[in-house]
Structure 1
């Protein structure tokens, strides 16, 4: 029996080079889909480029609450108009120093930009730096999608995919505690298990991690990745740079295609 897995690229819309790399891999059939960051000036152009793939590729919303300009401008969430680093987000939100209404307004704005540009709701929702696991975002998801019939699929909590990355996975899992169960009870479908987490400062770890997922990830399991090409826009916006070229090269390679064939594994497309 053929085992099928999901490969989802994060960060579509972050920079033109990232978009180009993801579109290339979608065209090659090496990705199930991608999640989109909608807050940048180039979003309308990026959306127009991926819009023809609706239905064939899974196109989701990559909720962003850290490190980038806020769509809604200055607020308690982004006092200077820029979203805070992750380390400066979670505790202030939990302790009430950030107004929940400002967080929800920013998420509403990003969601609206997605729907306006693509003419449909996202196929799924996840979060930049996993912010969708935060309680304030869980609350937004329940409020934004009151009808269970129209709720998007959510990316679930991580599985232990690499012993070397165990501390990082454990930290994410702590924030995600109870997410799968509570959101399923609320009527959301959850994609799980999640694999693909590793220390991106060690790009040589990506290929063996992907190979291990091909060999062992459960049917319909999810592997997250961050492929793309480095350009000046990316260098100005995000520290995760050269590793994106490494991930792109591995995913586009004949060796990866051969590993899928050997394992009897297929990559799900966006219709499944």
Structure 2
């Protein structure tokens, strides 16, 4: 067995600046996958552009808005997902307190249909802001895995969660995770060996070199099998505040020769997905 990694740029379609950065990184070969936010006004443009690159993004199931951009609206408008003005809340805890499973899966279905209607048939899905996992209240993980199984989709659920969380899970969360992994296996939903990303702020990191060193450490620690490293690259004028600083650093990392040298020296193969290739897709 060898070590493989999917290098994913999350949030294609979030807003124009991040979208342009992600498209450039895909064209340059610095990332091997991306995820699409279908509820954004930029999604249509992003879908057209990424299709020209020959890339099929994963579905980034999006149930919340983000601070700093105009609030998004769901595609099916289910009452339990929205604020009184019909927009998705930018607070995952608000969604976690009120979202109904039927509405959550209905919105995921609508977003998947949106992609398929535009000639993109994603092979996997994941969760924007982690809302499907129950980290902010109600969990819809079981329903999501059943939905993935119905559509033949892989899903971003790490078989080993410790690299993401930075250590062992609390007992209750560990038990829920173990149950979810077993359920994914029983349903035949492909999941990655582990996942890794940056979860620290710009002030906690202190500078670009600290972020790079942290990613290099995570890269070296990847286990056998296929894992995923996902980032949120952007540029300075696209996202204001500390979050924008970190996203700009991640763009820099993906073009950094030190990062590429580490991939080579570690002997890690970069791949497009952690799931078996479908017939006819190579």
SS in 1 for 2:93: helix
Distance 1:115 1:141, change over 3 A: farther
Q: Counterparts of 1:108 and 1:37 in 2: how far apart (Å)?
A: 14
SS in 2 for 1:241: helix
Contact 2:36/2:58 (8 A) holds in 1: yes
1:16 corresponds in structure 2 to 16
Structure 2 residue runs of 5 or longer lacking an equivalent are 66-70
The superposition leaves residues 95-143 of structure 1 with CA deviations (integer Å, 9 ceiling, x where unpaired) of: xx443332233222222222222x1321211111222324425314424
- List aligned pairs for 1:94-113, cutoff 5 A: 97-113=98-114
1:268 equivalent among 262, 268, 271 = 271
Answer with 181-190 or 153-162: which moved more.
153-162
Q: Counterparts of 1:132 and 1:86 in 2: how far apart (Å)?
A: 10
Q: Counterparts of 2:148 and 2:272 in 1: how far apart (Å)?
A: 27
Q: Counterparts of 1:239 and 1:63 in 2: how far apart (Å)?
A: 25
The superposition leaves residues 33-85 of structure 1 with CA deviations (integer Å, 9 ceiling, x where unpaired) of: 0111010112111101101233xx46201111123423234612213222231
2:220 corresponds in structure 1 to 215
Contact 1:194/1:223 (8 A) holds in 2: yes
Give the superposition deviation at 1:206.
2.5
SS in 1 for 2:4: strand
Distance 1:170 1:252, change over 3 A: farther
Count of aligned positions: 256
Q: Counterparts of 2:38 and 2:170 in 1: how far apart (Å)?
A: 29
SS in 2 for 1:190: coil
2:259 corresponds in structure 1 to 256
Q: Counterparts of 2:95 and 2:12 in 1: how far apart (Å)?
A: 23
Distance 1:186 1:103, change over 3 A: same
Structure number with the bigger relative contact order (C-alpha 8 A, sep ≥ 6) is 1
2:68 corresponds in structure 1 to none
The superposition leaves residues 205-242 of structure 1 with CA deviations (integer Å, 9 ceiling, x where unpaired) of: 4312221133221242111111122445x45xx97312
Indicate whether 1:69 and 2:69 are aligned: no
Indicate whether 1:247 and 2:250 are aligned: yes
Contact 1:21/1:227 (8 A) holds in 2: yes
Contact 1:192/1:221 (8 A) holds in 2: yes
SS in 2 for 1:240: helix
SS in 1 for 2:229: strand
1:133 corresponds in structure 2 to 133
Contact 1:32/1:58 (8 A) holds in 2: no
Give the superposition deviation at 1:25.
1.7
Distance 1:83 1:108, change over 3 A: same
Structure 1 residue runs of 5 or longer lacking an equivalent are none
Q: Counterparts of 1:82 and 1:179 in 2: how far apart (Å)?
A: 30
- TM-score, structure 2 length as denominator? 0.78
- TM-score, structure 1 length as denominator? 0.80
